[in-house]
Chains A and B, each alone.
Chain A
């Protein structure tokens, strides 16, 4: 392995950028491909597929065998609102392998007692996310109902093209949210990416059940991005018929 490429790969991983270390199995030569780099031919197609699936493996392309080792950042979940749902969602998401941070400037909600063993920040999202901006590998879950707190992280997540953006609230609440975000300059297409009402429609009632519905939707967005994009663009009647308020 080329030492220079190893250093580049590690730097990319520290910066939470997706990269593939490619090894030609015939001669052992390496090449580092960053997500978005243009690679021609069959190999390029295989690389594109590997980035999507995040699965490492051997591919045969252009008459040669290559090993593609895919490095994608571990997914993060940023939960805005230290509410009941978050108390259930944070540990569940941690169990499922997410790096979780809960943010709420309302210090009455954001107490260590309510959130033991969770990275919890009692500050405004603008400040709490300074060291860890929302990126494409972050799921943003906004559950405060309060535009003062939710709107900035929602905007930030949509601009950063987060793989999941969800917001709690009735359709009426969401309608007003859409108006505000439109005024703030976000496109219709960007705003349509928000999962609202948040969570899969499983008839969830308690905070813990709602947490399950949210986590399932986040995992679907992570593992089957095309499916969840299709689900968002054409919501089924049942999905819109009930909402988590």
Chain B
């Protein structure tokens, strides 16, 4: 995609992978987080994406707001090192030292740099 097509702009804005491509073409450094496994009740299904750039801009979601902050801070490291990371989030009281999912489920998130 080189020039935005009128009427398709919102689609790109809503779609994390389309936006990731746009950011990449703009020369930004981008990481993609993907829900790869869920247990119990999970807010976003397997395959959901969150894209993050080096400045902390993001789009999409892996949990509907519960753990995005934690993923964002990990993304800065992944962008810097290029090493993919596996993140796991469970209920807040089981992993009190970090953020958790209030719905009681557990999710595994794969975080990787583009390029």
Chain A, residue nearest B108 (CB): A58
For B112, list chain A residues within 8 Å (CB). Answer: 1, 23, 28
Other-chain contact of B46, A6, A25, A57 (Cβ < 8 Å):
A57
The answer to whether A28 touches B84, judged by C-beta atoms less than 8 angstroms apart, is yes
A22-47 interface code vs B (CB 8 A; 1 in, 0 out): 01010010000000000000000000
Give Cα A129–Cα B39 distance, bound, in whole angstroms: 42
Give Cα A58–Cα B86 distance, bound, in whole angstroms: 13
Binding site secondary structure of chain A: mixed
Give Cα A70–Cα B47 distance, bound, in whole angstroms: 8
B31-43 interface code vs A (CB 8 A; 1 in, 0 out): 0101011000000
The answer to whether B34 touches A10, judged by C-beta atoms less than 8 angstroms apart, is no
For A172, list chain B residues within 8 Å (CB). Answer: none
Q: Is A109 an interface residue (CB 8 A)?
A: no
Known: A1-B113, A3-B115. 17 other contacts (CB 8 A): A1-B32, A1-B112, A1-B114, A1-B115, A3-B24, A6-B20, A6-B21, A9-B17, A10-B17, A10-B21, A13-B17, A25-B86, A56-B46, A56-B47, A57-B36, A58-B36, A67-B34
Please name 30 pairs of A and B residues whose Cβ atoms are closer than 8 Å in the assembled complex, sorted by A: A1-B32, A1-B112, A1-B113, A2-B114, A3-B24, A3-B115, A6-B17, A6-B21, A6-B24, A7-B21, A10-B17, A10-B18, A10-B21, A23-B34, A23-B112, A25-B36, A25-B86, A25-B110, A28-B84, A28-B112, A55-B46, A56-B36, A56-B47, A57-B37, A57-B46, A58-B36, A58-B37, A67-B36, A67-B110, A69-B34
B→A interface (CB under 8 Å): 1, 17-18, 20-21, 24, 32, 34, 36-37, 45-47, 84, 86, 110, 112-115
A→B interface (CB under 8 Å): 1-3, 6-7, 9-10, 13, 23, 25, 28, 55-58, 67, 69-70
